[in-house]
Amino acid sequence: MNISSSCLNKFDWISNYGPSFVIPASNFDVLYEPSDFFQELNNIFASAKKRIYISSLYFGTDPYEYKLIDSIRTALEKNPSLRLVVLLDHLRGLRIDNHADKTTSKSMFLPLIEKYSSRVDFYLFHTPLLSGLLRKFIPARINESWGVQHMKIYMADNNLIISGANLNKSYFDNRQDRYLKLVNCSHLCKFFVDIIQTMAKQSFKIEKNHEEPIFMGEHHPYQGDNSKYYLQVENDLSSLMKTYQIRHPKPKSLTSDQALVVPLIQMGLFNINNDRDFNIYLYSHLPLNSKLYLATSYFNITEEYEKELIDNKRNDTQVSLLTASPQANGFYGSRGISRFVPAGYSENEREFIERAERKFSNDGQIQMLEYYRQQWTYHAKGLWLYDNDKDNNNNNNNYPVLTCIGSPNFGARSIRRDLEAQLAIVTNNEELSAKFHRERIQLFQYGAIVTSDTFKQLSRGVPFWGPLFMRFFRNFF
């Protein structure tokens, strides 16, 4: 049995949580910097010939984003059969970003919609959780806390970039995230095309000569009794997932030049919990003597995850978590109620670390690190698992055998409110594993270890109402 087959056998349970795609390791390219992310997006959009699919929270309104629009326009002009499909969030996509110009995500794409109306489909998903008086009176920015379209999938033809990053200036400049490019992965791209199209059919569409978005589904998400809307979307998604798992089952073998890719979809409001269930199983079945690295931009880990990582963790495994320092948090220095969010996440960290130290007597089995890089914010999430099993004759013990990359944040909001997607990737290919290792090292090098003593410092003090604030709003961040 070769090394990769042994690796596959150890993690064959991953195929329970999504369709399985075997992709050559040479088809992967890990991107390390925001500028790389922007450049690759520009490249794949400009060179697209048949299709461009964009799934994101929103699309920014700065010069970077205008350049992406220009690349898409160029591709549409060159290729008469090219189709553009965009799925953004309704609440965020219609929010005014530039008040001087009144620009929104919608207005950025409107010229393309008007000129290429037969080939451009622009959709906005609206959460069914925000309806009635809440929808009418909750102000912008805060209303997004009820749930958003959060998948970050960027496709051109059979090439795909998956990330946790939005399409906005800061994400191309000094906001650190993770980015993975896959080329010539037609089956995986078709899966995400179908996921996006399934949600698009239950979303609002911006059409030429129509000022207001037009709902495309049969049952409205927020007007009247929306129980039929929930059921329709759940049935559509469940049917799609089952079809793909039958069509792409667990592979029988995996060679050393391949990787197993399993897309994990999390849409808890529609009872699709593949990513949540995957994480719970992973945390409770870590290989002997393994080390798990977790990254999340907003530390708001759920009780389910915390139980597995602390209460049920074996003594032979180690866990390191990287999250944003208060200064690297995207909400730092913001206006309104959101300015209190960094303090809330800091309180979550303190409670987690104190629980871990009580359980493990501060022996380092669980470490918390905070990302700080001057003038940068931090938005990366995902995980890397290092398997130190000496019995499998693996010479790559210093490299991860499993990584997950995508949009989920490990928090209650990701699980219960937002639309999320990520990839679980298993490989023993040395070159690809080394790329994931380098990625993890480059992120964690900016992490400083924090302990319970850290939160006793005056600079880390939180308002007396801080714990109460986070307990009440924990499911919204």
Question: What local confidence, expressed as pLDDT, does residue 340 receive?
Answer: 67
Question: What local confidence, expressed as pLDDT, does residue 1 receive?
Answer: 41
Question: What local confidence, expressed as pLDDT, does residue 341 receive?
Answer: 75
CATH number at residue 212: 3.30.870.10
Q: List active site positions.
A: 150, 152, 157
How many residues are listed for the chain in this entry?
Answer: 477
Assess if residue 315 is contained within a domain.
no
- Walk along the chain (477 residues) and give the pLDDT tens digit of each residue: 455 666 788 999 999 999 999 999 999 999 999 999 999 999 999 999 999 999 999 999 999 999 999 999 999 999 999 999 999 999 999 998 766 778 999 999 999 999 999 999 999 999 999 988 888 878 777 888 899 999 999 999 999 999 999 999 999 999 999 999 999 999 999 999 999 999 999 999 999 988 899 999 999 999 989 999 999 999 999 999 999 999 999 999 999 999 999 999 999 999 999 999 999 999 999 999 999 999 999 999 999 999 999 999 999 999 999 999 988 876 655 565 566 677 788 888 999 999 999 998 778 899 999 999 999 999 999 999 999 865 544 445 689 999 999 999 999 899 999 999 999 999 999 999 999 999 999 999 999 999 999 988 877 777 666 666 666 667 776
Assess if residue 462 is contained within a domain.
no
Question: What local confidence, expressed as pLDDT, does residue 330 receive?
Answer: 67
Assess if residue 342 is contained within a domain.
no
Question: What local confidence, expressed as pLDDT, does residue 343 receive?
Answer: 77
The Cα 115–Cα 112 span in angstroms is: 5
Task: Provide the residue range defining the domain that includes 238.
Answer: 5-297+379-445
Assess if residue 66 is contained within a domain.
yes
Q: Do the beta carbons of residue 293 and residue 322 sit within 8 Å?
A: yes
Say whether 259 sits in a helix, a strand or coil. strand
Task: Look up residue 281 and give its amino acid.
Answer: Y
Name the domain count of the chain: 1
Assess if residue 347 is contained within a domain.
no
Contacts of 362 (CB under 8 A, 6+ apart): 451, 452
Question: What local confidence, expressed as pLDDT, does residue 133 receive?
Answer: 80
DSSP-assigned states of every residue in 14-70: GGGGS--EEEEGGGEEEE-SHHHHHHHHHHHHHT-SSEEEEE-S-B--SHHHHHHHH
Token digits of residue 117: 């109306």
Token digits of residue 433: 């594993």
Assess if residue 328 is contained within a domain.
no
Question: Any alpha helices (H) in 79-223, and if so which ranges?
Answer: 90-93, 105-115, 132-137, 169-173, 186-200
Q: Do the beta carbons of residue 422 and residue 406 sit within 8 Å?
A: yes
Assess if residue 429 is contained within a domain.
yes
The tokens 């650190």 sit on which residue? 176
